[in-house]
Amino acid sequence: MQKLSFILRTAYALLFLSIFAACEDDDKAKDPLVVPSAYDGTAFSTNAAAQLTARTALINLTNEMKKGRANGTKVELTALTNFYSQGTPSLKSYTTSFYNAKIEGVNGYLSELNKASGGIFNPDTRTGNGGTFGGYLFDENGVEMEQMVEKGLFGAALYNQAVVLMKGHAGFTPANADQLLALYGASVDFKSSDDATKHGTAVDRFMANYAARRDKNDGKGLYTELKNQFIRLQAAAKQEPKYHDDLLDALNQITILWEKVNAGTVINYCHSAVSTLSNTNTTEAQKGAALHSLCEAMGFLQGWKTVDAGYRRITDAQIDEYLALLNVPANGTATPYTFLTEPVNQLPKLQQLISKLQTLYQFSNQEVEDFKRNWVKEQSR
């Protein structure tokens, strides 16, 4: 009997110790994630080599397209196509099938840019295949194919590939965090600037560059919030799966903020065009710059169409609605040139677009006002 009692007491003691140890482990797991003050960029270049390759292809493609801005300069289609479709990985391999169809083909953006290059665009007569006007290259309807490709690929390729990474969150690693950061475009130093003369190679590119422009550096802006979430994401990834909830929340915040930067930049370009074209006696250079701004807004918007709907707030129907306000209907002839020839009738559409984006993303009146400005330039960052 005493032996049985001893065995029972021992069993109870072991059970108590096991429960205590389990509770202790649970308490440890509930400790808040320790987030460092800076991003660890030690292995960034190695981890994000593929994404950096695709980024370089986009830079090279953009530089090739920009050659068409010079009067009389013909841009060869073969060169454009090679920058887009060649390489491992290719820029094309990151792009949604919807946007790839927009870029390639007989009447695709690259082909239309090739046709317009070397010519002259006149918004009043619109003869031929388009050409240069006010320092930029437009097709015969006033669409700047360079912007439809470059800014469109910010969403259709870079953000689309970011979604691929975020979908794989079950096995998300610190290397994946580096890859996501590369697609966003920030350097590991988060300089909040695209000024290479001040920061060398540690500058922001792609969407990170525009996040910096939309952030007035008060510690509360979109760029700062994204920086904090990327640092948090990396910290959680280093301790997977212990802080998987933190990792998921960081990814969720990054998707929301990334999209807000996109929307805020569209608002910025609409503000800019309204401000310029509301004036009388505008010069050709001013008109060209205003139309250029509107085409950037078109590219930023359209690039998000057909990206996985679970990773964006804006719907395809809303994108089509907003593009129609920019005179680029989904199933009709684009007429953005009318913002130059009929500003009194056309500019109210841009105010409507600003209002719709403000409602969709719940921007405050102050945020919409702040979006008018390029804070990097104003603050000489």
What is the Cα gyration radius of the chain? 25
Other beta carbons less than 10 A from residue 173's beta carbon? 14
Residues 6+ apart with CB under 8 A from 265: 210, 213, 214, 296, 297, 300, 371
pLDDT tens figures, 118-158: 999 999 999 999 999 999 999 999 999 999 999 999 999 99
Closest CA to 183 of 307, 345, 34: 307
Phi/psi for 131 (5° steps) reads 160, -160
* Domain coordinates in residue numbering, the chain: 35-378
Which one-letter DSSP state was computed for residue 120?
B
Global pTM value: 0.92
pLDDT tens figures, 354-378: 999 999 999 999 999 999 999 999 9
SS3 content of the chain, % helix, strand, coil (to 5): 65, 0, 35
If you search the block for the tokens 């500058």, which residue do you land on? 203
Model pLDDT, residue 30: 61
Q: Which residues pair with 120 in a beta bridge?
A: 132
Model pLDDT, residue 270: 98
Alpha helices (H) along 67-144: 77-85, 91-94, 97-103, 109-116
Rounded Cα–Cα distance for residues 44 and 174 (Å): 9
Long-range contacts formed by 275-279: CB under 8 A, 24+ apart: 275/372, 277/339, 277/340, 277/343, 277/347, 278/343, 278/347
Model pLDDT, residue 105: 85
Give pLDDT tens digits along the chain (381 positions): 444 344 444 444 444 444 444 444 444 546 999 999 999 999 999 999 999 999 999 999 999 999 999 999 999 999 999 999 999 999 999 999 999 999 998 899 999 999 999 999 999 999 999 999 999 999 999 999 999 999 999 999 999 999 999 998 889 999 999 999 999 999 999 999 999 999 999 999 999 999 999 999 999 999 999 999 999 999 999 999 999 999 999 999 999 999 999 999 999 999 999 999 999 999 999 999 999 999 999 999 999 999 999 999 999 999 999 999 999 999 999 999 999 999 999 999 999 999 999 999 999 999 999 999 999 999 999
What is the maximum span of the chain, computed from C-alpha positions, in angstroms? 109
Rounded Cα–Cα distance for residues 278 and 347 (Å): 8
Model pLDDT, residue 168: 86
Model pLDDT, residue 7: 43
What DSSP line would sit under 49-66, residue for residue?
HHHHHHHHHHHHHHHHHH
Burial of 193 (0-12, 13-18, 19+ CB in 10 A): buried
Burial pattern 236-267, b for ≥16 Cβ within 10 A else e, equals bbbebeebeebbeebbebbbbbbbbbbbbbbb
